[in-house]
Structures are given as structure tokens and as C-alpha cells.
Amino acid sequence: MSVDLARLKDIVVDEVDSLRERITEVSETIHANPELGLKEYKASELLSSELRSHGFDVQRGIAALETAFKASFTMGRGGPHIAFLAEYDALPEIGHGCGHNIIGASAIFSAIALSKLSERLNGKVTIFGTPDEEGSGGKIPIIRAGFFDDVDAAIMTHPWDTTSAWMPSVALASLTIDFTGRGAHYSAPHKGVNALDGVVLTLAALNGLRHGFRNDVIYGYTIDQGGVIPSIIPEKASARLWVKSTDLRNLTDVVNRVKACAEGIANSMGARVDVYHHYPLFEESIPNLTLIRKVSGNFSRLGMVYEAPEKTSRSLVYTSTDYGNASHVVPSASPSIAIGPDGLAAHTKEFAEAAVSKTAHEALLGITKVMAMTGIDLLGEMGVLEEAKAEFSSYRASGFSKVPFAPTY
């Protein structure tokens, strides 16, 4: 059938405008009821119920995650399958200091607006409710359970201090380093094996190792257990370590070197060390130029000023998210949307306040329109989805070593 894309985009823009009050209400309700990862019962129910009321088939508790969901709508005769990704977990104490109220609301209402074209477009639209992005990464078990296997492309957004057609993210490993020694009185240290020394020496050695790491590697650590009282040689000690790098291949090499360092120190002391991943690895985000061009065109169509992806990629913003894992399995787009002034930092109380500001509400409406229009491009414009998938396949064939905007070292 012949498709007038411009007319369809006008329709979804009008649809989003007609839902303005409800979109804002859903975002504000999630924001006012912050819930930690895997406990987002109110947010999950709110988003699921909203989708069900618009005719979506909703499946709750997918991938053995109680607060995850899948909601689907078949358009016309069916066909290509696109997904919008919703997040809705909050941060401890801060609340929605990463703006997941905006991510959740934009995802479902983009899909709802797009579903109103079911007599004009063919395809399938799915929303994945993905909990615990701030923790273990709910998208990862959903991917592993096969829910993305028949998805052709995925779209989501993230609030930030800039508007851009592509928001880069980097790979993240979260490690726990556990040393086990032998307790003794501190007046006879030779009779014990000081587990805390093992932790301290490992962290000190890591600060020496960093001179041999690429300059994109950053890390932070805490000592979570270091003994009971100074008069007792600690038998147990542990540290948490977060390591980031712009790509998973280099991050894996760094993690292996950290493990080798800890094991060498343990062997020299006569201690035991266990190093394990606290969370699954978060992979770096993979850009898709085809989708970036479509998102850019839709920003321009609305008169929204945005930064080129070349600029945002050079900024090397060290965000990490399980969206990166999704971008490794399907062609994906994740534009950012500004909800405050340049320099507004995520994971702060100021960001949480900005996430329900007038600026944020307007940004939410704008990005909802952009995401819905990008869905029209994927389902309605001949060859676009095939081009995005062919581009993605070429990156995957290289082991994701040859992708646009990748830093060179």
C-alpha cells in the first residue's frame, strides 16, 4: 500500500499532543513514587495498565523478573517487529535522579501513538518494561530469555543535559574481590594471614597497573569488609571495584589483569582470593547511522535543536547502561533529550528535580513524538529497516571492533 509518511507523522504528533496531560501525569506519578530496582511494582502496574487500556496485549513478569513486562500490538497484517524500551527504577535516597520516569512514559506513549496508525501501517510494536537498570540490568535477562530474538530494531531515550541523536555509553564491569586469610592476635601477626593486607595491596598494585591501561579506562572502589577490631588480624576482607572502558574487548582484558594481580598477591601471602562479577557486564552502546539519520530528521522536523553524534561521541561521557547490551543484539537508537542546562549532572538531587520540571515535560512530549515518528520511518519507508539491519550485521561480523565514532588508540 502507498504510505504518505509526512501525513502519518502529522497524525502521531497530533496524537501525542492530545495525550499531553496523561503523558505528563504518568511521568509525574512514577517520579512521585520512586521504587528501587526489581521492586517497581507501582510503576510496572501503571505502565502496563495504560498499555492495556489502549489495546496492547500485556504479559507481566517476563524473564523471571516480577516487575518486567512485554506489551505488544499488531498493526495491519503484521510484519516487521520494532520495540520501545521502558525503564522506571529509581536511585536510593535520590529518587528519579536519572529521569527514568521520562524513559518509561516516552516509551509507552510513543508506542501508543504509533498504534493509532494500525489501519495504515503493517508491523508489530512491542514495549519491553525493563527493571533495575541502575542495578543488575533488567534488559540482560530479557535478552538472554530470547525476547529480542524476533525484534528487528529497538528505540529508547535518555534524559540528559544535551539533546543528541545518539547518546554513547561505555562498557562496565562490577567486581567483588574477596580475600580469606587466617585470624590472629595483632601482637603475633606472623601466626595469621592478613586478608585486609591482600585487599590493600591489590588496590595499590592496581594504581600501578593503570599506567599500562589505555587512557579510556577508569575505575572506582570501596573496601566493604576489613576486619572487626584493630587488635585482630582480619581473616576476611573484601572490596568492590567498578571498571569502565569504551569497549568490551578492552574491558575484558583489564578485568583479567585485575584478577591476575589479586591472585598473585594471594599466592604470595598464602591467602585465598575469589574475584567474581557482581552484575553481568554492561556492554558499550553500538550506534546505527541509519537510525541516527532518521532520529536527526525527526528532531529537525519538529524544529528541535540537537547535537551531532560526532560531537557527543567525542565528549566521552562515561555513562554505562544495559541499553548497550540491547544494541549488541538488534539495530538500536537511543537519542538523549535535555531536561535542564548544560552541566546538569545525573544521579543528583538537582537532576531528580529537573525530571519533573516544565522543561522536562516539554522534552518528554518532544522525544515521544520523535520516537513515534522514527517508528513510522522503520515500518513505513521502504528499505530503511533493511538498511539498518545490514549496517548492524556488518558491525557484528567485525566483533563490534569496527563501528562508527569509536575512539582510536
What pLDDT score does 338 carry? 97
- The pLDDT of 65-87, averaged and rounded, is 97
pLDDT tens, position by position, 341-385? 999 999 999 999 999 999 999 999 999 999 999 999 999 999 999
The CA distance from 160 to 227, in Å, is 41
Find the helix packing angle between 289-301 and 384-397, rounded to 10°.
Answer: 140
Task: Tell which residue, 40, 181, 22, has the closest CA to residue 108.
Answer: 22
Q: Domain 171-277 falls in which CATH fold?
A: Alpha-Beta Plaits (3.30.70)
Task: Tell which residue, 180, 202, 89, 84, has the closest CA to residue 136.
Answer: 89
What pLDDT score does 20 carry? 98
What pLDDT score does 278 carry? 77
Cα-trace Rg, the chain: 23
What pLDDT score does 3 carry? 74
Whether residue 318 has pLDDT greater than 80: no
pLDDT tens, position by position, 135-162? 999 999 999 999 999 999 999 999 999 9
Domain ranges across the chain: 5-169+284-397, 171-277
What pLDDT score does 111 carry? 98
What pLDDT score does 1 carry? 47
Task: Tell which residue, 266, 279, 218, has the closest CA to residue 238.
Answer: 266
Q: For residue 15, give the amino acid letter.
A: E
pLDDT tens, position by position, 231-240? 999 999 999 9
What pLDDT score does 310 carry? 81
Whether residue 168 has pLDDT greater than 80: yes
pLDDT tens, position by position, 83-120? 999 999 999 999 999 999 999 999 999 999 999 999 99
- The pLDDT of 3-7, averaged and rounded, is 91
Residue 370 host element (H or E): helix 358-380
Q: Write down the architecture of domain 5-169+284-397 according to CATH.
A: 3-Layer(aba) Sandwich (3.40)
> Average pLDDT, whole number, for the chain?
95
What pLDDT score does 2 carry? 54
- The pLDDT of 256-261, averaged and rounded, is 96
What pLDDT score does 163 carry? 96
pLDDT tens, position by position, 192-226? 999 999 999 999 999 889 899 998 999 999 999 99
DSSP line for 90-121: -BTTTBSTT-HHHHHHHHHHHHHHHHTTTTT-
- As to burial, measured by CB atoms within 10 angstroms (0-12 exposed, 13-18 middle, 19+ buried), residue 317 is middle
Using CA atoms, how far residue 4 sits from 121, 144, 229, 293, 366, in Å, is 10, 38, 74, 19, 21
